[in-house]
Structure 1
């Protein structure tokens, strides 16, 4: 595998990449991660079984898409590839600080607002499906936001919960109730990071770097709602965001609906308290 990685990096950098050091990195629930170094250019490596190549390809494409917005900072993609048994994703490596400065979070809020103002689509979805954590996220294009979110977000997650014997009620009934709540809401499609929470950004000497996206074009409020769910960002982030791109008055009513998507996702991945929190939100709208 390391030989295959060296070859991809040689093609990227225009010179043979001789790996002199390999350091394992604590990663998420899905992939192994390493920092490798040739003495000149460190590289962050995600590794998994060969069948995960399509997931790595989707992640690389999302990072490239976010980079094209010229707003938030994301890692450069150096390449993806396979060995006989493994797939890998090669990304720019960073040295992270213990905590971001207030000025970093202010800039971060401004950059996310600018990302959400980047107008390239008039529909909701994406050209390819993505993943939220290790869970497949369908992104079939729709012209109606209520239809997209109720079916491809809430309905999809409810079905995944049901397959693990986690029941919240009739899937069709709940999906229709969510669609009714969003029926009169027609947000301008914004490119979303899609998995915007405390575990997916870090402070560097270049500012805030954002990674592990679950992109699609949707309601910008989804990003903000998830950022507030578990460990809200610092007030400097939200103040800067609202200054650049104020949220609509109805956000407070829609926020629990958008947070429900993530709670359902966590319910079948981790169970525990997330099931009860998801049920409380569902009960609000039935």
Structure 2
């Protein structure tokens, strides 16, 4: 596998790369990440292992991640790791999907960088892809190992229910993990979006603290699941798992003030990632999901 990846990196960078060092960094779901080196060159490698052969591939999770990263790079807001190459490698009955990125070393953030992060997010949201009028994305992608569906829709409430809440509830109901929320009840929860048609914004899509990093002078985002939607989605995610400095939110609001009713929509927007966590990790997140449902019903 590493020989195949070395050849692809060499072609992409027009410079010989022979992987002579592989340092494991992180393992999550079916993906593992590494720092790979060749002399003075080093890159970040993300590897997804499957058992399907080329003719049977039905997912391209890391290809979708590369697409998301390139979309964010075009926004010229955050620093986004450069996509070096993305591809497949087959070895007998095992297939590897790989994504090779520019390697970025992180440092603890200063308060000034936290403010810059808030400003950068507002800048990202202010500059969606040209010609964008509907919500969604040309292709589907993934949040963790969960498919995220992005069929475009001109109506935000319809998009959020049909492309976000319904697929997760269908999966949870199939596994008997959430009897407390029917599809009909979930649609009723979206009444707070009835007359809410937000400005279509390019979203990171999975903006928790683990997907944000800092160098000495830059704010870096990675692991996105981009689509065009309500900018409050990214802010709700940032607030859900905490870890973001208050100056981040203050700088965002100073750059682009939030719309009236944001607090009423907050629990509904946080419900989507929490349902995903319940699907992926089970009852550990059950109490938090039920608490969010109560908040949604209160609005």
Output the TM-score relative to the length of structure 2: 0.91
Give the aligned partner of residue 109 of structure 2.
100
Give the aligned partner of residue 49 of structure 1.
49
Q: How far apart in 1 are the matches of 2:96 and 2:150?
A: 27
Query: Unmatched 5+ residue regions in structure 2?
Result: none
Aligned residue runs from structure 1 range 4-153, under 5 A: 4-50=4-50, 54-84=60-90, 85-97=95-107, 99-120=108-129, 121-153=132-164
Displacement of 1:170: 5.1
Structure 1 position 2 matched with structure 2 position 2 = yes
Would the aligned equivalents of 1:256 and 1:281 in 2 still touch at CA under 8 Å?
yes
Would the aligned equivalents of 1:263 and 1:274 in 2 still touch at CA under 8 Å?
yes
Displacement of 1:285: 4.4
Q: How far apart in 2 are the matches of 1:124 and 1:233?
A: 27
Would the aligned equivalents of 1:124 and 1:142 in 2 still touch at CA under 8 Å?
yes
Would the aligned equivalents of 2:128 and 2:228 in 1 still touch at CA under 8 Å?
no
Displacement of 1:174: 2.1
Q: Would you identify which runs of 4 or more consecutive aligned residues in structure 1 move more than 3 Å?
A: 50-53, 283-286
Displacement of 1:43: 0.5
Give the aligned partner of residue 264 of structure 2.
253
Would the aligned equivalents of 1:155 and 1:171 in 2 still touch at CA under 8 Å?
no
Would the aligned equivalents of 1:4 and 1:81 in 2 still touch at CA under 8 Å?
no
Would the aligned equivalents of 2:24 and 2:33 in 1 still touch at CA under 8 Å?
yes
Displacement of 1:151: 1.6
RMSD: 1.6
Would the aligned equivalents of 1:23 and 1:35 in 2 still touch at CA under 8 Å?
yes
Q: How far apart in 2 are the matches of 1:170 and 1:101?
A: 42
Q: How far apart in 2 are the matches of 1:17 and 1:57?
A: 22
Give the aligned partner of residue 195 of structure 1.
206
Displacement of 1:2: 0.8
Output the TM-score relative to the length of structure 1: 0.95
